[in-house]
Chains A and B, each alone.
Chain A
Amino acid sequence: MASSDQDVTLLSSWASPFSMRAKLALLLKGIEHEDLPQDLGNKSKILLESNPVHKKVPVLIHKGKPIAESAIIVHYIDEVWPGTSPLLPKDAFLRAEHRFWTDFIDKKLLDCLMRFMRGDAKNEEFIENCELLEGAFTKLGNEEEGPFFGGVRMSFLDVMLAPYAVWIPGIAGVMGLKPASQEQCPRLHNFFQAVLAHPAAKLALPTVEALKEFLVARSAVYRGK
């Protein structure tokens, strides 16, 4: 298990958008942690023991106790370390909105991207999902305050969406996805630019180039062959 003087360990995988969320939350809050990258093709004992049900990353291990599922991990991080960089809104209705759009990102956006990579979804469907996210910005984010849902600072929903700032250009570069233009989705475009410039996100997210190489190498897997 984690070395004795480390309270917090993250079982990670650098290319996973779910893993990036957990990493980003830890960095935003300045939480010292041990990062243990995992080989998903040859799963380690610590991964299988700490997430026996799903056997997936990310897993956060805090004082020996494992927490799995990226949204649950980020909720946990926010609850245990509330002082720095609070992520979930205080208002119950806004919290519900953040959770709704997180679920949308997983169920609709990511699902669409995965199907696109397999040749099972059209670019138009992806653009429609981006337009819906643009609508979320209009509803939840104050443009005058800043590019994020949280205004000038990242909030829970920003952390959940941030990985797509590299995943979308990655898939565009390798598989011909046409991202939504600045004209089509200005707030979304500004959000992704702001993520790429954000100091914590620069550490939590891989470069687009690295992701492109990864996608090329794994393209057969994604095409479902």
Chain B
Amino acid sequence: MSKGSVKVLSFWSSMFGLRVHYALDLKGVSYEYQEENLFNKSKELLEANPIYAKIPVLIHNGKPICESLIIVDYIDSVWPNPHKLLPEDPYKKAVARFWADFGDKKVYDAGSRLIRATTEEERKKASEDLKWALMKIDEALGTIAPRKPFFGGDSMNFADVALAPFICWFKGYQKVGGFVLPGPEEWPNLHKWVTAVKSVEAIRKSTPSEDKVAEFAEVIRKRAIGSA
């Protein structure tokens, strides 16, 4: 369904960028993809996002939208069907927004600190924080959608799309930060969720290889230590 031109500026391993790919792909929206070199940002990116110069950016009919969750919200408004991501019920919508936001505030933050940790103390704290955050997600899945694979029940919703990109980074967190994901006996809901997300064709389409991401995590770490 064409609703004008759609272009995505992003970087292959970015969790934030993946959210945008997932939203567009789940809805079957065609788009042009431009891979950005983060050390040599395109003029287009700098003009589209002058305040942060960051990816992802969605350019729809020439107008830029920045910040991944804001982009996903926008995509869901412009292309509500198929696969509506935000629930109609205001309370359920608020719950979905909460867990998406939790992904940024707690999961991403801890994961980022884990990879960039320069001391054992920093690494340990980041690892504990990441574990706590993922445990909360396991609990939330059990409360919000008991016996269902996704936050959205039988299909992925806004919260699922926001959190799914972390899955391809788990190997990187392990390789670089020594973070070991507790098994399904401890976190049954999270593991069921991971399996379910990985089985979605639209998700597989843009998800990079976990090994490549782990290698990239190593690069980030080396850079962080190098500049410490």
Contacts and interface: CB of A to CB of B under 8 A. Distances in A.
Interface in A56-80: 62, 65, 67-69, 72-73, 75-76, 79-80
B221 interface: no
Q: Name the interface size band of chain B.
A: 20 to 34
Given A67-B91, A79-B93, A95-B74, A100 B66 contact: yes
Contact of B98 (A68, A93, A96): A68
A95 B130 CA distance: 32
B51 interface: yes
Contacts of A76: 90-91, 93-94
A104 interface: yes
A99 interface: yes
Contacts of B94: 67, 72-73, 75-76
Interface in A86-105: 92-93, 95-96, 99-100, 103-104
B73 interface: yes
A80 B93 CA distance: 11
Most chain B beta carbons < 10 A, residue from A62, A100, A103: A100
A132 interface: yes
A1 interface: no
A96 B101 contact: no
Majority-rule SS of B interface residues? helix
Interface string A46-57: 000000010000
Interface string B70-106: 1101100110000000000011011001100110000
B202 interface: no
B65 interface: yes
A154 B110 CA distance: 36
A80 B92 CA distance: 12
Contact of A79 (B51, B77, B90): B90
A99 B73 contact: yes
**Lowest 5 CB-CB distances: which A-B pairs, in order?**
A92-B77, A79-B90, A96-B74, A99-B70, A76-B94
Given A92-B78, A95-B77, 9 more contacts: A62-B91, A67-B98, A76-B90, A76-B93, A93-B60, A95-B73, A96-B71, A96-B73, A99-B67
